[in-house]
Amino acid sequence: MKVLYAVSEAKPFIASGGLGDVAGSLPAALRRRLIGCRIVMPLYEGIPEKYKNEMQFITHITVPVAWRRQYCGVFELKLNGVICYFIDNQYYFKREGIYGHYDDAERFAFFSRAVLEILPAIDFHPDIIHCNDWQTALVPVYYDRYYARREGFENIKTVFTIHNIQYQGKYGHEVLGDVAGFGEEDASILENDGCINFMKGAIECANAVTTVSPTYAAEILDPWYAYGLDHILNERRWKLRGILNGIDTVSNDPATDPALPAHFSAEDVSGKAECKAALQKEMGLPERPDVPVIGIVSRLVAHKGFDLVKCVLEELLDTEDVQVVVLGSGEWQYESFFTEVQQRHPDKLAVCLAFKPALASRIYGGSDIFLMPSKSEPCGLSQMFALRYGSIPVVRATGGLKDSVQDSGLGEGNGFVFEDYNAHDMLHAIRRAIGGYRDKEGWAILRRRAMECDFSWGRSANEYIRLYKELLKG
C-alpha cells in the first residue's frame, strides 16, 4: 500500500502546532508497519539550513494556478525511513512564517495542485492521498474534478483529516475562478454561508473524512462546535470517523528526556521528586516536597478554558496548600491576569509568559497535577505528555481529553474529569485531585496507571491502516 501524506507543516522541519507533531510522527509509524508512506510539504524559508543542505533536487515542472502557470521545484530528503518531498516556489514560500499572508488562498491552492501534478515526475502512484486541514483541502476537489479520469491518476482514494474545524480556509467568491481555478459549475462544491470554503470542498469530495479523536468527530456534528459546517458534516456523516492522535513516546520519555534533571519511569519514580525540587527552584517557589504542584502548559486563550481559571484561581490559592506553575503566552487579558496574581501570591504561583519546550518537559516531569480545562479540544497532546511523565491530569470532558482521560473517582481511570464548562466544577475536580495526592499509597497506584497508558503512534497508525484498507476494498 502506498500513501502520500500531504501537509502544510511537519516536525522536525517546521511546525506551528499539533498538526506538525502529527505529520512528524504518523508517517514514520505507518512505515514501520510496512506502509509505503511519503510526505509532501512546502519548502518554506524557515526550514533549518541543515535540512535544506541534505535535500536533493529531483525535477521542476509548472503547475496551473487558475489562468496562469507557476514554477514548481521538487526536492527530496529521507528522514527516519520516510521520503519527504518539498515543493519549491520562492514567490509563495520564501517568506517569514508559515501562515497569515495576504495571499494564503493562492499559496495553498498552488500547493494543493502541485501535490497532484508532481506524481508523474516523482514516479509515485499512491493508493491513498491523505490530506490535512484547509491548506490541503483542495487536493480532493482537484482530484475529483480534474484528475480522477486522467491516465496515470486512476483509482486513488483521498482522506481528509480535520485537526481543528475552526480554521476552514474561508474566502470571498472571487477566489473560485481567479485563484482556485474552478468554474461556476463547481461553485456549489465549495460554497458555504456566502463564502468559498476550502474545507467544505474537501468534506464533499474526499472518500473519507477523519478527525483527531472520536469524541471530536461526534462534537462537530453539533452547531456549537462546527463553526458553520454542521449541516454538511451531518449530510456526510457516513464518511466521518474519529481516530485519536498519539505522541512520540521515544523523544517524550521521562526515562531518557535530556531536559529533565533526573530520570524516572513507571517502575522507578524516585527521580520525579528530584525533578519536582528542581522545578520549584527554577521557578522561584519554595522547595516543599509535600505540597502538590499543579502544572499548566498552554496557549493562554479563551477556548483553552482560561476564563474558568481566571474565575477561581485566587480562591484556590487562598484555600489550598498548593503551588501552580504556568508556561505559555497568548491573549493579553490572561497574561496580565497571571502576572498580577503572581505578584499577590509569589510563594504559590510562578508564571513564564513564553513557550520553552525544555521547560515544558520539566513542568510535565516536576508537577504532580496537570490542569487542562479546555472549552473545546480536538485532540490535545499535553494531557498525554502529562500522563507519560506521571503528572495526573484534571480535564474537562471534551474532544480528545474525554477520549484519553478517564475519571479515577471509582478507583479506576487515570485522572480527574469534570463535565460542565463551569469554574466551580473545575475547582471541585482540582480539589479531588489534591485530596487524592494526600493519599500517598493510592496516588502511587494512580500515577503508575497513568504512566503505563499507551498513547504511542502505533495504535493510531493501525486504525488509519484499517481505514485505508476499507477504502481500497470499497
Instruction: Please list, in sequence order, all residues whose beta carbon lies within 8 angstroms of the beta carbon of residue 339, skipping any fewer than 6 positions away.
Output: 351, 353
Q: Please, are residues 24 and 57 in contact by the beta-carbon 8 Å criterion?
A: no
pTM of the model: 0.93
Domains of the chain: 2-246+458-473 (3.40.50.2000), 270-454 (3.40.50.2000)
Give the residue among 467, 336, 312 at the shortest CA–CA distance from 394.
312
Which residue, 62, 72, 84, 74, is CA-closest to 11? 84
pLDDT tens digit at each of 474 positions of the chain:
999 999 999 999 999 888 998 999 999 999 999 999 999 999 999 999 999 999 999 999 999 999 999 999 999 999 989 999 999 999 999 999 999 999 999 999 999 999 999 999 999 999 999 999 999 999 999 999 999 999 999 999 999 999 999 999 999 999 999 999 999 999 999 999 999 999 999 999 999 999 999 999 999 999 999 999 999 999 999 999 999 999 989 889 999 999 999 999 999 999 999 999 999 999 999 999 999 999 999 999 999 999 999 999 999 999 999 999 999 999 999 999 999 999 999 999 999 999 899 999 999 999 999 999 999 999 999 999 999 999 999 999 999 999 999 999 888 899 999 999 999 999 999 999 999 999 999 999 999 999 999 999 999 999 999 999 999 997
Distance CA 447, CA 51 (A): 39
In this structure, the strands spanning 323-327 and 349-352 are: parallel
Q: Is 56 exposed, middle or buried (0-12, 13-18, 19+ CB in 10 A)?
A: exposed
Q: Which three cell numbers stand for residue 213?
A: 479523536
Cα distances (angstroms) measured from residue 461 to each of 84, 246, 399, 403, 467: 18, 9, 19, 17, 10
Q: Which amino acid is at 79?
A: L
